[in-house]
Structures are given as C-alpha cells and as structure tokens.
Amino acid sequence: MNRIQSLLSVGLCLFALLSGVVAQAAPERWEKVIQRFEKQDVESPPAKGQILFIGSSSIVGWDLEKYFPELDALNRGFGGSEIADSNFYFKRMVTSYEPRKIVLYAGDNDIAGGKNAETVVADFKVFYAKVKAEVPGCPVIYVGIKPSIARWNLWPEMKAANDAIAAMAEKDEQLTFFDTAVLTLGEDGKPRADLLKKDGLHLTPPGYEIWSDAIRPLLVRTNESEKE
C-alpha cells in the first residue's frame, strides 16, 4: 500500500508540473509594503478618481510625475508582485482609491515563477471581475507582458497570455490591451538591449519614454471624454 501511495504521489507531482500548476506564493508577504502605502495615504490623502497604476516592478519604476505631468495619476506598484497579489489586496489598493481608470502591469513574475499562460489569464479575469463589481464602469488598460532578454526563453508563454487578454479586450470596450512587444522588440525580432537595464529585465528611461509616449493618448482621451 505504501508503494502504491508513493507512486500516486509521484504521479500527482508530475501532473502538476506538466499542467503548469505551481504553489502560489503567499500574498501576505506584501503586507508591510501595503501598510506603508496606507500610512502615506493617511499622512497625505490622495485625491479620489485618479488614474491608478498598479502591478509589479515595471509599474514601480514608472515615474508618473516625470512622464505624465499633465495627468492626475497614482502609482501603487509593488515590485515582484503577481496578478494574484493585486487580487488579494484589491479593496485596499484599488477600491479604496475609487480610480477612474486602472493601468495594470503584471503577469511577468507569474510566468517566471512557474505559472502558465492559462493561469495568468484566469488570475486576470478575477482582477477584471473585481473591477466590474467594486469599481463599476472603470476602464482597465492591461499593459502586455514585455519581452525581455533575461526572460526571453519564457516569451512564448508570455505571448500566449498576452494574446488571450488581447482577445478579451477586442470584445469589451471597458478593457484595452496595450501591446508592449511592438515597442520593445527590435527589427531582428528580439528585445532591444537599449531599452533594458543591465539585468536584461527592467526598463531604462528610454524604455519608459517609449511606453509613455505610446500609452499617453489612451490616458488623455479618458480625461477629455470625461470633461465633455
């Protein structure tokens, strides 16, 4: 019986690996970071109705005051996070700000951590469902997972997640897919080294400049439409 149980255990492990199922990192690991944000909010309460940028390190490094001085935008990124983390802290880091628009970059660390495209899309669907339930009518821009030198071997899986979310956006006016691949890939079809730091993963200022110029019309158009 022990031998049979051992074989079953091994079989289940192999099935989990083959199906892309991985152990979920505990979202509570971000509690101190979230508390720091909340402390900042008490000391200097942010205005309601801003454009909320949330997600992982690509959001953290996005200097909103530098690249979008004309917009009222709030950065609540926490580096290394996954979509599931934003889901876990949704009420505290999204609902509480009553955003008029949400810009999300996440999924990069998810796949690097072992999740497959289907899991990333499923987690995003949870996030989007929360938006519709708790911030009704709030548009969402999903910033597609960027191709990078450090994670180039994972690009096929990342692209699969991007393609699925882009397909969702085509059928939903409240959701926009922002394609970073067309901005980040060079003529040779590989990530441009000049847009990435020495780690081959995070964006350089020129990288953020390109992203900002491309996404700005989407953000400005929201502002203008709300003033009409």
For residue 30, what pLDDT is reported? 85
C-beta of residue 143 within 8 angstroms of C-beta of residue 55: yes
Residue 158 predicted with pLDDT over 70: yes
CATH architecture group of domain 38-227: 3-Layer(aba) Sandwich (3.40)
Query: Is 88:25 a contact under the CB 8 Å cutoff?
Result: no
pLDDT for 79 equals 83
Reply yes or no on whether the pLDDT at 24 is more than 80: no
Report domain extents, the chain: 38-227
pLDDT at 175 over 70: yes
Residue 156 clears pLDDT 80, i.e. is over it: yes
Specify which residues 104 forms β-bridges with.
54, 142
Give tens-digit pLDDT for 71-117.
Answer: 999 999 998 899 999 999 999 999 999 999 999 999 999 999 999 99
Mean pLDDT throughout 178-196? 97
pLDDT at 20 over 60: no
Show the tokens assigned to 116: 């497959």
The reported pLDDT for the residue numbered 66 is 97
Query: Stretch 118-128: mean pLDDT, rounded?
Result: 98
Rounded Cα distance, 122 and 211, in Å: 26
Report pLDDT digits (tens) over 131-141: 999 999 999 99
The pLDDT value recorded for residue 138 is: 98
**What mean pLDDT, rounded, does the chain reach?**
89
